[in-house]
Amino acid sequence: MSQRNRLQNGGRIDRSKSLTFTYNGKLLKGYAGDTLASALLANGVDIVGRSFKYSRPRGIVAAGAEEPNAIMQVGATEATQIPNVRATQQSLYDGLVAGTTNGWPSVETDLMEYVGKIGGKMMPPGFYYKTFMFPQSLWGTYESYIRKAAGLGRAPQDTDPDIYDKMNQHCDVMIVGAGPAGLVAALTAARAGARVIIADEQNEFGGSLLSSTETLDGKPAAEWIASVVQELASFDDVMMLTHSQVNGYHDHNFLTIQQHCTDQFADRAPNGQIAQRLHRVRAKWVVLATGAHERPLVYGNNDVPGCMVANAVSTYINRYGVAPGIDLVLMTSNDNAYRTALDWHDAGRNVVAVVDSRKNPQGTLVDAARERGISILVGSGVIEAHGSKRVTSVSIAPLNDAGDAVVGAIVKMKADTVATSGGWSPVIHLSCHTGARPVWNDAILGFTPGATVQKQLTAGAINGSFTTANALNEGLSAACEALSHLNLTKPDVSLPATQDIEEGEAMALFHIPHTKPTSKAPKQFVDYQNDVTAAGIELACREGFESIEHVKRYTAMGFGTDQGKLGNINGMAIAAKTLNQTIPQTGTTIFRPNYTPVTFGAIVGRDCGALFDPKRYTAMHSWHVEHGAKFEDVGLWKRPWYYPQGQETMQESLNRECLAVRESAGILDASTLGKIDIQGKDAREFLGRVYSNAWAKLAVGKCRYGLMCGEDGMVFDDGVTSCLAENHFLMTTTTGGAAHVLEWLEIYHQTEWPEMEVYFTSVTDHWATMTISGPNSRKLLEKLTDYDVSKDNMAFMDWKPMTVAGVPARVFRISFTGELSFEINVQANYGLHVWKALFEHGKAFNLTPYGTETMHILRAEKGFIIAGQDTDGSVHPFDLGMSWAVSMQKPFSFIGKRGMQREDCVRADRKQLVGLKTIDPNVVLPEGAQGVLDPKASIPMPMVGHVTSSYWSANLNRSVAMGFVKGGLDKMGERVFYPLVDGRVVEAEICSPVFLDPKGERQHV
């Protein structure tokens, strides 16, 4: 296929640079400077997709972000697939591979068209709610059907090979849009010395001027653009972003910009380059110069390929040197669109007629059309287009003054292109993102930005100031206003002279009547992407949907990636008319971020793969890796889980590790436990307030276990705190709870008790902690220290400073296994040295490294809880059977005391933590299993509590478990049953959670 619609001259394309691309498997050619859309039109490609519900063939309608139909899947390889790319926004590059998103088996011969005709009837407005509500079982069928039909695009199956990036920016003035208003605003701010960012979605700056034949200072507008761009580039503090879509305008003048850095040049970013970058901008002032989108008119079969928005036709001619047809009919309600007829005529093509809904159009452009001998049919409208895969003719009829009824004979005219204009809709999307409600402006027949609390200014067509002269003026005044807020001096800026074009008054027209009522007329599409018709909107209104937000949701108008750019105003106008009210009374839906689809790559940036989340390693991590440890994530920490040897299964490893600890000696890397250094004369009193037990008498050199509760009395953390000196303590927390506990201490200190002199410092990373545990742990420690660690000199719950393996250490005689244990703390960078020294001397004692899983089993054998596993925020210390850790006599009402005395907290039948001894010792209860007292009760059975911890204990040669049972502490010896999903019912005896060494003799040696 040749570029049969390409013009010989004109446009901002480079005819010397031919580019080859693939579209639906066919090789086509375009030029540098083309978009995918302009290249497709140049090649005479009419159909670019099939519609969502009705599977109708669709062509390119627009030339920018508002394009509803040409939604492409782009990518030469599986890994570089990008779905939902608008052909109008994708720059052409050599080797580009694009395909239509929907259309099956191909867009040209779409089998779905026949299905779609059924589907269309199946899917009136509200079909999600009506048709697909029942039966539920068919949802899978519906969903796959909808997905197939809807052309949602396809995510790549392989990993994206490109690099994406994020960048934080700060500026004085952020200018969105580089049309005439934006360029003048940027130039003014730049000359004043402001830090400026100007971003535009297009491949070059210039906005509307790029597609217009207007002159500035008597010369082509392109010359003025080039001079401004050149000057802007000379400022160090001006950042110019092309191919950059400002997609979100968030609170406090925070904007997100998606910059396409390389994906307009190649399928993959060149080696080492960033494909896309997300700029996160904090701007002191924002100037929105986002322009306007032309509104098409709504008429019968207005979706047949060849039906386009008027200005898009001009853009393809003037900017890309493409005339997308031969015979044009232009339908308009305003003067401005006459430009399209002039451009078409001047490109040497045939203007069949201008169909003007107004009775007596007058103005410079109307005169120019008459001078060219273009036929103008006044007081008329195109009521219907004919053709299936391309427009072949149109029906034109005279309209009444209001434009809502056909009042004369229909004339049929041959044409392959219908361009329409119902006026312009300001692009107010960004101004809505922070919650401002748009305001209807009768003078321009459109919504303009509403009042905002953002430091936001607007300039140009977004305000309904559609002429170039007004855009330039408003760009200047917006910049000057920003500069005055910024206390910068306004510089000299002279604006270029614009052409004097007089335009007559436009007519408020949105929906062209047909001879048949709307419900019977050929489909009149309002929202192409979602297949919403005028009849659908009228039906929704008749069915009682009066709020425009409800109409939107019922019909799907403005949904998805479209966000109502093209059709929203027409839809509201039709709804308003049906409801017999004005457009401002009907109101508008609110546009949400993002303005156009953003790739996941840009959102994710570098935060993927190895950089997805930070990882924390202990000082001994390399040893664990060398010794084959399996790791588990605890918070951000990588903790050894267990150390398999040879062909061991996990359970075999755990059995070996568990036995080794109780038989001789094991070692655990406990460095990850949170450690908070607490100092100050009120430190002791503070501990008494945040822990449930007493701290007044804890002597220097002693350690104590404490429970931390919320004001509701529920346990949220636990740990051992040691008295290092009279006013100096070391608190340990759970690994995952460390940050929360520190903030907890701070909030009480800072907001409730600021008079207390106490300081908290996280020292978790400062210390490497290794716990040696087992009957031979003392003998092992003695080999590395000269300090007397005998029972007499160092009793259980003592801590002593000493030298271990030549390194200063704090050694704590605390135990989480129930065995004789020493927790050795050394400065973190000595950790690996001491760890290795322990192993050198540990051979004689079969020193066995164990991980978190063995730690869990050993503590469960002893009935020690793990906060967060055996607690869930709904249990207080008494529920845990830990009344010994609560001191109700403390003078200060500690945090949790009042909460745990509430009526509900003192019920006798609360769920209480107990031991669970399965009747069959070989059965290990699943954690989370729900207990019942009567397994024969009818379903739903009354549940009495769940299993929180359950393991196989090699030491006891049976299972051990803990769990909650209602009133369990008074049910010792009674039975509880656990019906499992596989049908088994496990019977267990309620017992003390201390399965091993109930008197604690093993740790007191």
Interacting residues with other proteins (CB under 8 A): 168, 250-254, 282, 434-435, 453, 711-712, 743, 746-747, 750-755, 893, 897-899, 902-903
- What residue type is assigned to position 43 of the chain? N
> What is the rounded CA–CA span in Å between residue 826 and residue 803?
9
3-state secondary structure string across 813-826: CCCCCCCCEEEEEE
- Tell me the closest approach of the beta carbon of residue 740 to other proteins, in angstroms: 11
Residue 750 · residue 773 · CB < 8 Å = no
- CB nearer other proteins, residue 16 or residue 168: 168
- Tell me the closest approach of the beta carbon of residue 18 to other proteins, in angstroms: 45
> What is the rounded CA–CA span in Å between residue 72 and residue 5?
21
- CB nearer other proteins, residue 42 or residue 428: 428
- CB nearer other proteins, residue 888 or residue 980: 888
> What is the rounded CA–CA span in Å between residue 436 and residue 451?
6
- CB nearer other proteins, residue 254 or residue 265: 254
3-class state of residue 69 by DSSP? coil
- CB nearer other proteins, residue 344 or residue 760: 760
3-class state of residue 387 by DSSP? coil
> What is the rounded CA–CA span in Å between residue 515 and residue 497?
47
> What is the rounded CA–CA span in Å between residue 736 and residue 724?
24
- Tell me the closest approach of the beta carbon of residue 250 to other proteins, in angstroms: 6
- Tell me the closest approach of the beta carbon of residue 382 to other proteins, in angstroms: 45
Strand (E) or helix (H) holding 705:
strand 703-709
- CB nearer other proteins, residue 485 or residue 800: 485
> What is the rounded CA–CA span in Å between residue 317 and residue 7?
8
3-state secondary structure string across 639-654: EEEECCCCCCCHHHHH
- Tell me the closest approach of the beta carbon of residue 254 to other proteins, in angstroms: 5
- CB nearer other proteins, residue 3 or residue 434: 434
The token duo for 780 is 């092992």
Cα dihedral 860→865→868→871 (10° resolution): 120
Rg (CA), the chain: 38
- CB nearer other proteins, residue 212 or residue 454: 454
Residue 324 · residue 5 · CB < 8 Å = yes
- Tell me the closest approach of the beta carbon of residue 944 to other proteins, in angstroms: 25
What helix, strand, coil percent values describe the chain, rounded to 5?
A: 25, 30, 45
Beta-sheet strands, E only, within 137-218: 163-176, 196-199, 215-216
- CB nearer other proteins, residue 129 or residue 759: 759
- Tell me the closest approach of the beta carbon of residue 591 to other proteins, in angstroms: 18
- Tell me the closest approach of the beta carbon of residue 954 to other proteins, in angstroms: 43
Residue 323 · residue 5 · CB < 8 Å = yes
- CB nearer other proteins, residue 786 or residue 903: 903
- CB nearer other proteins, residue 283 or residue 391: 283
- Tell me the closest approach of the beta carbon of residue 472 to other proteins, in angstroms: 32
> What is the rounded CA–CA span in Å between residue 215 and residue 91?
26
- What residue type is assigned to position 749 of the chain? H
- Tell me the closest approach of the beta carbon of residue 251 to other proteins, in angstroms: 4
The answer for residues whose C-beta is within 8 angstroms of residue 796's C-beta and 6 or more apart is: 813, 814, 815, 1003, 1004
- Tell me the closest approach of the beta carbon of residue 453 to other proteins, in angstroms: 4
- Tell me the closest approach of the beta carbon of residue 281 to other proteins, in angstroms: 11
- Tell me the closest approach of the beta carbon of residue 714 to other proteins, in angstroms: 11
- Tell me the closest approach of the beta carbon of residue 597 to other proteins, in angstroms: 21
From the number of C-beta atoms within 10 Å of its C-beta (0-12, 13-18, 19+), residue 841 rates as middle
What is the layout of strands, in order, in the sheet containing 350-356?
307-309, 417-421, 327-332, 350-356, 376-378
- CB nearer other proteins, residue 218 or residue 754: 754
- CB nearer other proteins, residue 159 or residue 893: 893
> What is the rounded CA–CA span in Å between residue 14 and residue 34?
9
- Tell me the closest approach of the beta carbon of residue 893 to other proteins, in angstroms: 4
- CB nearer other proteins, residue 371 or residue 755: 755
- Tell me the closest approach of the beta carbon of residue 505 to other proteins, in angstroms: 37
The token duo for 537 is 């909107």
If one counts every other C-beta atom within 10 angstroms of the C-beta of residue 411, the result is 14
Residue 290 · residue 462 · CB < 8 Å = yes
Give one DSSP letter per residue of 535-566, joined into a string. Answer: HHHHHHHHTT--SHHHHHHHHTTT-TTTTTTT
If one counts every other C-beta atom within 10 angstroms of the C-beta of residue 718, the result is 26
Cα-based distances in Å from 554 to 136, 325, 547, 584: 20, 36, 11, 20
- Tell me the closest approach of the beta carbon of residue 451 to other proteins, in angstroms: 10
The token duo for 874 is 């709904």
- CB nearer other proteins, residue 900 or residue 969: 900
> What is the rounded CA–CA span in Å between residue 584 and residue 576?
9
The answer for residues whose C-beta is within 8 angstroms of residue 753's C-beta and 6 or more apart is: 686, 689
Crossing angle for the helix pair 364-371 and 338-346, nearest 10 degrees?
A: 30
- CB nearer other proteins, residue 747 or residue 1005: 747
- CB nearer other proteins, residue 753 or residue 839: 753
> What is the rounded CA–CA span in Å between residue 46 and residue 69?
11
